[in-house]
Amino acid sequence: MQSLQQLWLLIGHTYSTFECSIHILYVHNT
Protein backbone atom coordinates (compact mmCIF):
# COMPACT_ATOMS: atom_id res chain seq x y z
CA MET A 1 0.00 0.00 0.00
CA GLN A 2 2.91 2.35 0.73
CA SER A 3 4.25 2.16 -2.82
CA LEU A 4 0.77 2.78 -4.24
CA GLN A 5 0.41 5.91 -2.12
CA GLN A 6 3.82 7.15 -3.29
CA LEU A 7 2.82 6.44 -6.91
CA TRP A 8 -0.33 8.54 -6.53
CA LEU A 9 1.70 11.36 -4.98
CA LEU A 10 4.13 11.23 -7.91
CA ILE A 11 1.27 11.25 -10.44
CA GLY A 12 -0.38 14.18 -8.67
CA HIS A 13 2.89 16.16 -8.57
CA THR A 14 3.61 15.42 -12.24
CA TYR A 15 0.09 16.47 -13.26
CA SER A 16 0.35 19.72 -11.28
CA THR A 17 3.69 20.55 -12.92
CA PHE A 18 2.28 19.69 -16.36
CA GLU A 19 -0.81 21.84 -15.77
CA CYS A 20 1.42 24.73 -14.63
CA SER A 21 3.57 24.42 -17.77
CA ILE A 22 0.49 24.42 -20.02
CA HIS A 23 -0.82 27.54 -18.27
CA ILE A 24 2.54 29.36 -18.68
CA LEU A 25 2.71 28.41 -22.38
CA TYR A 26 -0.88 29.55 -22.92
CA VAL A 27 -0.25 32.90 -21.22
CA HIS A 28 2.91 33.51 -23.28
CA ASN A 29 1.18 32.61 -26.56
CA THR A 30 -1.65 35.13 -26.14
State the pLDDT at residue 12. Answer: 96
**pTM for the whole structure:** 0.55
Interval 1-30: pLDDT, tens: 689 999 999 999 999 999 999 999 999 887
DSSP symbols for 1-30: -HHHHHHHHHHHHHHHHHHHHHHHHHHHH-
> Which of 13, 16, 20 lies closest to 28, judged by CA?
20
